[in-house]
Amino acid sequence: MTEPAADAPPEAAGDVAFWRGLGLPGLVDIHTHFMPPNVLAKVWAFFERGRARAGRAWPIAYRRPEEERVALLRGFGVRRFSALLYPHKPGMAAWLNSWAAGFAARTPDALHSATFFPEPAAAGYVAEAIGAGARLFKAHLQVGAHDPRDEQLDPVWGLLAEARVPVVVHCGSGPTPGPFTGPGPISEVLARHPRLDLGTPWLRAVCYHNAVRLLGL
């Protein structure tokens, strides 16, 4: 049973009581974001300027250094969590994957996360990340404004399906729709690759067997 840190934030008490009441040993949160400082600063600024939600600001509740945000997660009783990086242009994913591997190496309870973008090198660096131990991938169709059915991604989806490595895909239309959001495009990907373990934020659900595998139980 995970014991939350003694200095856990006051708002953690209700969450801890909830999962303990269910008889759980702790939590797995696969929708947390840790990024290189310069990338994270731009993401925070995007939300706080109100660009993400029709002109309304979206304040960052935990605008704190990396080590403090890790401690906050532990305070809520989170046993495993993700980095979930995502590129918005070609030539960025491999660099993000390198950073994520380093983050996982220095943060024992962080899942080794990785990402990709439709580009000629995608299958190569995704295979490399899987071989290096990546246990969770992220794709952001809204930010990347790319079609998940892009032929450059077909071998990527195939690699992930074969390796049974889960992928969290932001394919929903919230907070604002994109050209390839909604259930249509990603449903076609699933039809091509039925063994793909897919978690979608617009459903807010992840299969239990994935959580167990990620925990190593």
DSSP letter string over 38-71?
A: HHHHHHHHHHHTTTTTTT-----TT---HHHHHH
| 19 DSSP 8-state letter | H
Reported as a single tens digit per residue, the pLDDT across 99-129 is 999 999 999 999 999 999 999 999 999 999 9
* Of residues 200, 196, 123, the one with CA closest to residue 161: 196
pLDDT of residue 58: 77
Task: Report whether 213 contacts 30 (CB < 8 A).
Answer: no
The whole-number pLDDT of residue 9 equals 75
pTM of the predicted structure, to 2 decimals = 0.85
- Please give the pLDDT value at position 85: 94
pLDDT of residue 137: 95
Long-range CB contact pairs, 183-190, < 8 A, 24+: 185/141, 185/147, 185/148, 185/149, 186/141, 186/148, 188/148, 188/149, 189/148, 189/149, 189/153, 189/157
Choose the weakest-confidence range: 4-8, 49-53, 206-210.
206-210
Instruction: Provide the pairing of β-strand 113-115 with 136-140.
Output: parallel
Q: Is the pLDDT of residue 12 over 90?
A: no
Q: What confidence score (pLDDT) does residue 10 get?
A: 81
The predicted-structure confidence for 52-90, as pLDDT tens digits, reads as follows: 555 667 788 888 999 999 999 999 999 999 999 999 999
Domains and CATH numbers, the chain: 30-215 (3.20.20.140)
pLDDT of residue 31: 87
Better-scored residue on pLDDT, 205 or 12: 12
In this structure, what token pair is assigned to residue 54? Answer: 């029709």
Average pLDDT of the segment spanning 140-168: 94
